């Protein structure tokens, strides 16, 4: 890793009652136990499992100390197994990665926010460790987007009746903001119960049969959506989300537009992983341990790290991303099914450019939340995460997924690239809005971010060969139904977890689900944390 931005997180130690009974546990977990049942797991610690499975204590190696690895480790340790975690980095958390800013504020280099609804596992952990929440407002963005005439126009998300006719929206799409219109189209397509999309059992056989070969764009157009609405959806999300598959992409759409009560953890989302690690036991987490080989030709799995250390295990839980796992020497070689899985998933890069300002000027202008401004121009999206943070500063970041802009940012190299990349986006952002002062209809009256107000700039590139060599990307997408069967099938003694082994890729909830699934494959009683 070329650089690890400084993180001086506020340590909040888990206050977990080790003698908690089942009734109190279910009170704390709430709907989490319902989700566990959809995984085929019971919510009761030590409950009955598959009696045909040997549940004698095993020696288990977990590869990765992110949310998925920590979940599997805790669930298995709870059942009496000896578990050791090997972590490539010199830190715990994986995609849960926070950075301290001025006046006690934090930004998120990785997982940015969670939903109060539809994420029972993450909510249960936040409550369990008594971590304070910070509200993240639903986005009320300013859109800057080309019309059908090629000219740039702007509009506020909260005032759809004033959206430019040149965007090419249907009349019914200019009545309500984008969220209710999208939900209406999904309901019309037969998706009347959107809560089921967030269950671990999604997609079920009926959904696969109905939507298995359909993109979001195709589904929306079949329901009468205009190309202008498709463009606006992509602009709002900062990517070509509508081009993705329905089965793979629907969970994110439901989180963003249906389950919109967002929050962060005060002191940084990384505190979730740190609290899990404290409960598991830091002495059993070995950092700076890059796995270079896994040998299964003998009676146990032999795992070797780059520093020459050798570990033996009855079972291995790998959370190594499929984009990276090809670099690990595995004997016997991977089966054809696993090679197809590793090569079949699509990985996309991403960039976060951190901004902290003297005051949250965008909030006073009425543009805030996730996102606060978004465009089909160079800078993609600007996110406000100031929420109810103290300190008085404004806290936000740029999000970039589009390949042409990522290429421009990657071209900025050298030790100053972390600030230079963000400075470029900030300049382009302000230029776009300044141009729109005179060219947009209706005209803009102000900017959202003033450069003389910026007190902190930083960035991270989630890309192959950049700041995250152990992950090499932002998201794993393009999940097909057959992939779930493949990643749920162990390869010898190796079981697979990680948010990319979930239909909630990019969401920590999916990582937690995957960790429990992998643990239950080893021991059917390992159904909860």
Q: Using one digit for the tens of pLDDT, what is the confidence trace for 189-207?
A: 999 999 999 999 999 999 9
Nearest residue to 87 via CA among 317, 302, 298? 317
Mean pLDDT over residues 349-355, rounded?
A: 96
Average pLDDT value over all residues in the chain: 87
* Residue owning tokens 């009974």: 21
Q: Which two tokens stand for residue 79?
A: 């059942």
Contact 315, 58 (CB under 8 A): yes
pLDDT at residue number 437: 57
DSSP, collapsed to helix, strand or coil, labels residue 99 as strand
pLDDT over 70 at 35, yes or no: no
Sorted by sequence, the CB contacts under 8 Å of residue 181 that are 6+ apart come out as 172, 173, 175, 229
pLDDT at 462: 95
Q: Would you place residue 177 in the very low, low, confident or very high pLDDT band (cuts 50, 70, 90)?
A: very high
Would the pLDDT of 446 be above 70? no
Determine the Cα–Cα distance for residues 279 and 275; give it in Å rounded to an integer: 6
- Mean pLDDT over 430-445 rounds to 63
Instruction: Check whether the bond before 56 is cis (ω within 30° of 0).
Output: no
**What's the distance, Cα to Cα, between the start and end of the chain in Å?**
31
The pLDDT of residue 37: 38
Give me the pLDDT at residue 219, please.
Answer: 97
pLDDT bucket at 435, cuts 50 / 70 / 90: low
Give tens-digit pLDDT for 499-529: 999 999 989 999 999 999 999 999 999 999 8
Mutual angle of helices 178-188 and 227-237, in 10-degree steps? 120
Q: Peptide bond preceding 420: is omega within 30 degrees of 0, i.e. cis?
A: no
Closest by Cα among 419, 366, 401 to 473: 401
pLDDT digits 0-9 by tens, 391-430? 999 999 999 998 889 999 999 999 999 999 999 999 988 8
Q: What is the pLDDT of residues 222-258, one digit of tens each?
A: 999 999 999 999 999 988 888 889 999 999 999 999 9
Average pLDDT over residues 483-495: 97
Phi-psi region of 497 (alpha: psi -120 to 50; beta: other; left: phi over 0): beta
Taking the C-alpha atoms of residue 500 and residue 347, their distance in angstroms, rounded to an integer, is 10
């Amino acid at each position: 890793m070329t650089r690890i931005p400084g993180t001086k997180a506020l340590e909040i130690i888990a206050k977990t009652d080790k003698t908690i009974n089942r009734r109190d546990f279910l009170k704390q977990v709430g709907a989490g136990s319902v989700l566990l049942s959809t995984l085929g797991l019971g919510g009761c610690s030590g409950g009955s499992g598959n009696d045909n499975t040997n549940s004698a204590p095993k020696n288990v190696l977990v590869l990765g100390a992110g949310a998925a690895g920590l979940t599997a480790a805790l669930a298995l340790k709870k059942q009496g197994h000896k578990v050791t975690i090997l972590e490539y980095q010199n830190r715990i958390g994986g995609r849960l990665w926070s950075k301290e800013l001025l006046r006690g504020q934090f930004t998120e280099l990785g997982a940015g926010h969670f939903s109060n609804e539809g994420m029972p596992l993450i909510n249960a952990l936040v409550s369990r460790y008594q971590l304070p929440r910070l509200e993240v407002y639903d986005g009320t963005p300013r859109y800057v987007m080309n019309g059908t005439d090629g000219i740039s126009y702007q509009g506020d998300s909260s005032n759809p009746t004033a959206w430019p006719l040149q965007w090419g929206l249907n009349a019914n799409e200019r009545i309500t903001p984008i969220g209710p219109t999208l939900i209406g189209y999904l309901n019309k397509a037969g998706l009347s119960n959107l809560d089921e999309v967030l269950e671990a059992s999604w997609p079920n056989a009926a959904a696969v049969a109905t939507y298995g070969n359909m993109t979001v764009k195709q589904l929306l157009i079949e329901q009468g959506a205009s190309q202008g609405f498709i463009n606006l959806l992509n602009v709002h999300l900062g990517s070509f989300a509508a081009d993705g598959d329905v089965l793979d992409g629907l969970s994110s759409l439901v989180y963003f537009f249906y389950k919109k009560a967002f929050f962060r953890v005060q002191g940084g989302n990384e505190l979730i992983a740190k609290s899990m690690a404290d409960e598991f036991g830091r002495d059993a987490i070995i950092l700076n341990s890059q796995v270079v080989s896994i040998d299964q030709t003998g009676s146990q799995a032999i795992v070797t790290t780059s520093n020459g250390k050798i570990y033996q295990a009855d079972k291995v839980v790998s959370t190594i991303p499929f984009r990276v796992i090809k670099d690990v020497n595995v004997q016997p070689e991977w089966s054809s099914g696993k090679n197809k899985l590793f090569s079949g998933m699509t990985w996309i890069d991403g960039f976060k450019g951190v901004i902290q300002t003297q005051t949250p000027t965008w909030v006073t202008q009425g543009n805030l939340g996730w996102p606060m401004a978004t465009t089909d121009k160079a800078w993609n999206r600007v996110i406000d995460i100031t929420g109810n943070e103290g300190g008085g500063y404004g806290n936000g970041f740029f999000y970039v997924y589009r390949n042409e802009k990522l290429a421009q940012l990657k071209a900025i190299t050298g030790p100053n690239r972390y600030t230079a990349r963000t400075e470029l986006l900030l300049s382009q952002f302000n230029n776009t809005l300044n141009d729109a002062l005179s060219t947009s209809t209706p005209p803009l009256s102000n900017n959202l971010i003033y450069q003389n107000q910026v007190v902190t700039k930083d960035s991270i590139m989630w890309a192959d060969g950049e700041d995250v060599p152990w992950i090499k990307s932002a998201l794993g997408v393009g999940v097909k139904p057959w992939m779930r069967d493949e990643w749920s099938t162990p390869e010898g003694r190796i079981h697979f977890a990680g948010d990319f082994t979930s239909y909630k890729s990019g969401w920590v909830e999916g990582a937690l689900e995957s960790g429990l699934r992998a643990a239950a494959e080893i021991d059917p009683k390992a159904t909860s944390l």
